[in-house]
């Protein structure tokens, strides 16, 4: 039965002008993840990735650790890109300018916990009410992820192993669709996804089964505890 390793990119650069690049911590996470696969002799018949820079950098770090440049011969699939959270937050601010959480939370101040509380609220409003002027509706976002699930199920040969590099939002939506979870649960999953975390599936052309969610075996142990991140 085919296997899918759905991986979240390593830590990006929160509260900087260019979020879409790995931090030093993220670069190390990518290397440890590649070492994990190399040490266990886990190789992939196909690698698929969103086209964001943090996706590419994570794969590059993994490839160096795996000592396998062919790993970088991957298929680019924008369907696995993150939703535009900056556009969502901006639209929320235009619609609810007096909201206290919006007024006290910002990307620039570097308070990650406060920003993610705002993001959770923004995602709920996006799903329940809608936000004007954003690149896609919640329904369109779900539909693009469902399309990628369908393509994976139909295009993979029996016994093959696929790695998909993506982001926290698409991964949570992917799992939510597989498990038929509520939108509330999908948003909860989104905010739990860890950098370089692995979600592992077995599947065929009819069904997809979640075997493991958000695993970080490459970061286990007290010496690597400081490398467990969520942003």
**Residue pLDDT, tens place only, 127-164:** 999 999 999 999 999 999 999 999 999 987 777 999 99
Which of residues 135, 152, 176 is at a domain's end?
Answer: 135
Residues 210 and 104 in one domain: no
Structure tokens of 51? 């086209």
Q: Are residues 56 and 31 in the same domain?
A: yes
Model pLDDT, residue 111: 81
pLDDT in tens, 87-108: 999 999 999 999 999 998 876 6
60 and 141 part of one domain: yes
Percent share of the chain, pLDDT over 90: 86
119 and 57 in a single domain? The answer is no
Are 152 and 202 members of one domain? yes
Helix 53-66 crosses helix 24-39 at what angle (to 10 degrees)? 40
159 shares a domain with 206:
yes
Same domain, 141 and 119: no
pLDDT at res. 48:
97
Quick one: 21 and 61 in the same domain? yes
User: What mean pLDDT is predicted for residues 58-71?
Assistant: 93
Boundary residue ending a domain (118, 135, 152): 135
Whether the predicted pLDDT of 69 surpasses 90: no
Specify whether 147 is located in the same domain as 182.
yes
CA distances from 42 to 5, 69, 82, 162, 184 (A): 11, 15, 26, 11, 34
Domain count, the chain: 2
Q: Where are the beta strands (DSSP E) in the chain?
A: 3-8, 46-49, 75-76, 161-166, 198-203, 208-215
Q: Tokens representing 90?
A: 């901006």
**Lowest-confidence segment of 43-57, 60-74, 168-182 by average pLDDT:** 60-74
Asked if 75 and 170 sit in the same domain, the reply is yes
What distance in Å separates the CA atoms of residue 47 and residue 74, rounded to the nearest whole number? 5
Q: Give the mean pLDDT of 174-183.
A: 98
Using pLDDT thresholds of 50, 70 and 90, give the confidence band for residue 222: confident
How far from 170 is each of 41, 47, 83, 174, CA to CA, in Å? 27, 16, 8, 6
- In this structure, the answer to whether residues 149 and 194 fall within a common structural domain is yes
Domain membership of residue 122 as a residue range: 84-135
Q: What is the pLDDT of residue 1?
A: 87
The pLDDT score that the predictor gives to residue 112 is: 85
β partners of residue 6: 164, 199
* 202-215: pLDDT as tens digits: 999 999 999 999 99
Q: 122 with 134: CB under 8 angstroms?
A: no
Measured between alpha carbons, how far is 196 from 224 in angstroms, rounded to an integer?
Answer: 13
Instruction: List the CATH number of the domain containing 58.
Output: 3.40.50.1240
Final residue in a domain of this structure, among 94, 110, 135: 135
Residues 18 and 114 in one domain: no
């Amino acid at each position: 039965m085919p296997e899918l390793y759905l991986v979240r990119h390593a830590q990006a650069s929160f509260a900087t002008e260019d979020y879409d690049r790995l931090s030093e911590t993220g670069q190390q996470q990518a290397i440890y993840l590649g070492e994990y696969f190399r040490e266990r002799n886990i190789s992939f018949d196909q690698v698929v990735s969103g086209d964001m820079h943090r996706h590419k950098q994570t794969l590059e770090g993994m490839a160096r650790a795996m000592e396998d440049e062919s790993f970088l011969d991957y298929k680019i699939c924008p369907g696995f890109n993150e939703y535009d959270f900056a556009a969502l937050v901006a639209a929320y601010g235009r619609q609810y300018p007096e909201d206290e959480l919006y007024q006290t939370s910002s990307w620039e101040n570097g308070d990650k916990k406060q920003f993610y509380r705002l993001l959770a609220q923004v995602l709920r409003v996006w799903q329940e009410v809608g936000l004007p002027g954003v690149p896609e509706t919640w329904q369109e976002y779900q539909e693009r992820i469902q399309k990628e699930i369908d393509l994976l199920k139909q295009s993979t040969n029996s016994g093959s192993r696929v790695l998909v590099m993506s982001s926290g939002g698409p991964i949570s939506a992917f799992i939510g669709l597989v498990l038929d979870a509520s939108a509330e649960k999908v948003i909860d999953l989104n905010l739990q996804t860890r950098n370089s975390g692995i979600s592992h599936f077995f599947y065929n052309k009819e069904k997809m089964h979640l075997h493991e969610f958000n695993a970080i075996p490459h970061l286990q142990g007290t010496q690597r505890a400081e490398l467990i991140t969520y942003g």
